[in-house]
Copies of this chain bind each other. A is one copy, B any other.
Amino acid sequence: MMDRKKTLQVDLGDRSYPIHVGSGLLGQDQLIRPYLRGRQVLVVSNTTVAPLYLESLLASLPDLDTDSVILPDGEQYKSLETCMQVYDRLLQRRFDRKCMLIALGGGVIGDLTGFVAASYQRGVDFIQVPTTLLAQVDSSVGGKTGVNHPLGKNMIGAFHQPRCVIADTAVLATLPDREMSAGVAEIIKYGLIRDQSFFDWLESHVDALLSHDEAALTEAILRSCAIKAEVVAADEREGGLRAILNLGHTFGHAIETASGYGNWLHGEAVGAGMVMAAHLARDLGWIDQQQYQRARDLIVRAGLPAAPPETMTAERFLELMAVDKKAEGGRIRLVLQQAIGKAVVADQVPADSLRRTLDHFVSP
């Protein structure tokens, strides 16, 4: 069999790790074994993913002391309470500091398992096996782990790097179309913020991505992770540059919140948010009409919404974007594009420009 695996090394000194991308990697135990310090392995997954992929993962490690915890699927289970279920199992099975956790699932499973790994006995190793396109391009890099608190998302967490990431493009075959598009939204984002040639490439490969072409997916995941790794390496703990990763997210979060979490997928909201951000950049004269159109067209071709839900008003946006009364008529902070392939944190956006963009997208 031809080896279709490609590997990106994330360079973080003694916390460096590889991201393996390719089709059929899930059962390849040789990607996992180099990182085992003992024989104990706990796989954390959810009720959607486990029936599909857990068995083949466990079957590749028959000689080890493996166990698994299957959590309910959904953002509402990303909590300290759910972490306790994992701690319980680790302690019931007397897993020691040399054990390995494996996160098999999407972003929720990855973030939660990473936090348990960061905190169990003050830190044990973990491996990410992301099973959604969004998690493969987003959660694989950055070391952010954590859970939600009733009063805020990701409020409890830690920075903890995985020992390796295994992004198997074959598992995307079972991913619903909407979730494929949501993943592509983040991929487009990497082109928009940092890499024009990647954006060009996406214009000619977006259909291949959506139809699960494995070579195209491998390429898109690798380049996305490389861009994120470059941004994060320059700014590991979120001072400045890292903020550009939030292109479209301020508008997007407002849409997610207004629609109620779960109605719009995160990637869908980011898609619409990036169109709105591009519109605002055009209004400011930072990009021209043609660049705006290119960004918007690619987002639409990816199957993503190019506008917020019809029920939203400009006032609701301003409220949810935390633009307070004092800022109106003043200046506000947003991530905006200066070109296809270049985004910056704009500290001085005139509030009336924002207002014109909102009025363009929402009903009067």
A80, A118, A119, A123: most-surrounded residue (chain B CB, <10 A): A119
| CB of A84 within 8 Å of the partner chain | yes
Which residue of B has the minimal Cβ distance to A152? B91
The smallest beta-carbon distance between A82 and chain B, in angstroms, is 12
The smallest beta-carbon distance between A137 and chain B, in angstroms, is 21
Please state if B119 and A149 are interface contacts (CB–CB under 8 Å).
no
Please state if B91 and A158 are interface contacts (CB–CB under 8 Å).
no
Please state if B119 and A158 are interface contacts (CB–CB under 8 Å).
yes
The smallest beta-carbon distance between A163 and chain B, in angstroms, is 16
Q: Provide the A73-101 mask, 1 if CB < 8 A to any CB of B, else 0.
A: 00000001001100110011000000000
Which residue of B has the minimal Cβ distance to A83? B80
Of the candidates B80, B92, B154, B155, the one whose C-beta lies within 8 Å of that of A151 is: B92
Which residue of B has the minimal Cβ distance to A146? B122
Of the candidates B80, B91, B122, B149, the one whose C-beta lies within 8 Å of that of A144 is: B122
The smallest beta-carbon distance between A233 and chain B, in angstroms, is 17
| CB of A159 within 8 Å of the partner chain | yes
Q: Provide the A149-170 mask, 1 if CB < 8 A to any CB of B, else 0.
A: 1011011111100000000000
Please state if B80 and A157 are interface contacts (CB–CB under 8 Å).
no
Which residue of B has the minimal Cβ distance to A87? B149
Q: Name the B residues within 8 Å of A122 (CB-CB).
A: 144-146, 154, 157-159
Which residue of B has the minimal Cβ distance to A91? B151
Q: Name the B residues within 8 Å of A7 (CB-CB).
A: none
The smallest beta-carbon distance between A189 and chain B, in angstroms, is 22
| 112-141 of chain A: CB within 8 A of chain B | 115, 118-123
Please state if A123 and B158 are interface contacts (CB–CB under 8 Å).
yes
Please state if B121 and A91 are interface contacts (CB–CB under 8 Å).
no
Task: Contacts A92-B151, A151-B92 given; indicate if A87 touches B123 (C-beta within 8 A).
Answer: no
Q: Name the B residues within 8 Å of A91 (CB-CB).
A: 149, 151-152, 155
Of the candidates B87, B115, B118, the one whose C-beta lies within 8 Å of that of A155 is: B87
A15–B287 CA distance with the chains assembled, in angstroms = 43
Q: Name the B residues within 8 Å of A155 (CB-CB).
A: 87, 91, 120-121
A92–B155 CA distance with the chains assembled, in angstroms = 12
A339–B329 CA distance with the chains assembled, in angstroms = 76
Q: Name the B residues within 8 Å of A115 (CB-CB).
A: 119
| 229-260 of chain A: CB within 8 A of chain B | none
Q: Name the B residues within 8 Å of A146 (CB-CB).
A: 119, 122
The smallest beta-carbon distance between A235 and chain B, in angstroms, is 14
A215–B83 CA distance with the chains assembled, in angstroms = 47
Q: Name the B residues within 8 Å of A120 (CB-CB).
A: 155-156
A249–B328 CA distance with the chains assembled, in angstroms = 63
The smallest beta-carbon distance between A324 and chain B, in angstroms, is 14
The smallest beta-carbon distance between A267 and chain B, in angstroms, is 23
Given contacts A80-B84, A119-B158, A121-B157, 5 further A-B contacts (CB under 8 A): A91-B152, A120-B155, A120-B156, A123-B158, A123-B159
